[in-house]
C-alpha cells in the first residue's frame, strides 16, 4: 500500500482524491488475542473514500492473489445499533444491496481490551468493487445516525507513547482543544516543514489544525538533536491524522 518511498500511497491519493494513512510499523489494532494488524485510515467524502478503498483493495489483491476480499471496518459501538437495525433489517438490506456475493457481519463487543470503543464490521466478497460500494453504503447509513460526527471523531490512538504525547485542554472559545507533541530529529525537520514551510502549511489548510516547530538548535530537554513539533486542533481526528502524516514524513515514507 505504501510503496517504495511512499510512491504507491501517493499515487492512490492523487488518483482518488482520498487521504490514505497507514499506521506506523509498531502501531497495531489492539485485540485480546494479540493480532498484529496495522490500521489504514482513509478520509474524504464518501465517494472519495470508496475510490480510495477500491484502489487499496486492488493493490492488496495484486500482491496477495486471494480470491476473497475481506474488509474489517472499525465502527463506534454506539453506532452499531443503527447499522444492524431492528431485527437485523438494516444490515440485511446492506448485504442485499451489495449483491448475492457480499456478506456483512457485525462482530461482538471487544473483550479484554480496556478503553476500546469500537466493534469490527466485516464486509466480505470475491469482488473488490462490491466490497467498496457496500462500505460506501455503510458510511452513508452511519452519517444519517444522530451524533455520528462526534462519535466518528472519537479516535483511539493505537500506537505506543514513545516520543509523543497527547494533551486535552479547554480552548479559548470554551470547546476542548486537542494537542500533541512529537520529537522530530534535526535531520528530518526540513522534510516536515517543507520548502518555505509549504508542507506544514498544507497540512494545516487540509485538516484545520495549527502546527509549530521549535527553532533550529532548540531541542527537547534531554536530547541533543530532537526538535519539538506541536499540533493543535478542535477535532481530535484531524490532530491524529496530522500526527500520522508528520510521523510518515519523519520516517521518509512520504
Are 171 and 177 within 8 A, CB to CB? yes
Q: Can you name the residues that pair with 177 across neighbouring β-strands?
A: 169
Mean per-residue pLDDT, 87-115: 78
Mean per-residue pLDDT, 107-124: 73
The answer, as to whether pTM is greater than 0.75, is no
Please give the Cα distance from 102 to 94 (Å, whole number). 9
Q: Write the pLDDT tens digit of every residue in 236-251.
A: 888 888 888 888 888 7
Are 22 and 38 within 8 A, CB to CB? yes
Mean pLDDT of the chain: 82
Looking at the predicted structure, is the pLDDT value of residue 120 above 50? yes
Alpha helices in the chain (DSSP H): 7-16, 46-64, 77-84, 89-98, 128-143, 148-152, 186-193, 198-207, 236-251
Amino acid at each position: 500500500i505504501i510503496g517504495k518511498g511512499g510512491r504507491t500511497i501517493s499515487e492512490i491519493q492523487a488518483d482518488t482524491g482520498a487521504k490514505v494513512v497507514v499506521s506506523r510499523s509498531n502501531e497495531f489494532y489492539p485485540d485480546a488475542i494479540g493480532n498484529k494488524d496495522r490500521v489504514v485510515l482513509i478520509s474524504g467524502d464518501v465517494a472519495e473514500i470508496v475510490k480510495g478503498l477500491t484502489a487499496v483493495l486492488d493493490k492488496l489483491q495484486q500482491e496477495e492473489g486471494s480470491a476473497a476480499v475481506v474488509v474489517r471496518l472499525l465502527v463506534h459501538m454506539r453506532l452499531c445499533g443503527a447499522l444492524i437495525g431492528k431485527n437485523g433489517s438494516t444490515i440485511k438490506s446492506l448485504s442485499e444491496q451489495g449483491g448475492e456475493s457480499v456478506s456483512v457481519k457485525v462482530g461482538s463487543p471487544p473483550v479484554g481490551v480496556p478503553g476500546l470503543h469500537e466493534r469490527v464490521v466485516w464486509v466480505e466478497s470475491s469482488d473488490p468493487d462490491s466490497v467498496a460500494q457496500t462500505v460506501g453504503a455503510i458510511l452513508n447509513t452511519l452519517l444519517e445516525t444522530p451524533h455520528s460526527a462526534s462519535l466518528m471523531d472519537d479516535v483511539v490512538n493505537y500506537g505506543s507513547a514513545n516520543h509523543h504525547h497527547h494533551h486535552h485542554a479547554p480552548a479559548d472559545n470554551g470547546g476542548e482543544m486537542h494537542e500533541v507533541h512529537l520529537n522530530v530529529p534535526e535531520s528530518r525537520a526540513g522534510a516536515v516543514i517543507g520548502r518555505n514551510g509549504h508542507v506544514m502549511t498544507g497540512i494545516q489548510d487540509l485538516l484545520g489544525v495549527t502546527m509549530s516547530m521549535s527553532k533550529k538548535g532548540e531541542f527537547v530537554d534531554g536530547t541533543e538533536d530532537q526538535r519539538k513539533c506541536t499540533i493543535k486542533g478542535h477535532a481530535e481526528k484531524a490532530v491524529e491524522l496530522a500526527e500520522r502524516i508528520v510521523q510518515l514524513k519523519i520516517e521518509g515514507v512520504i
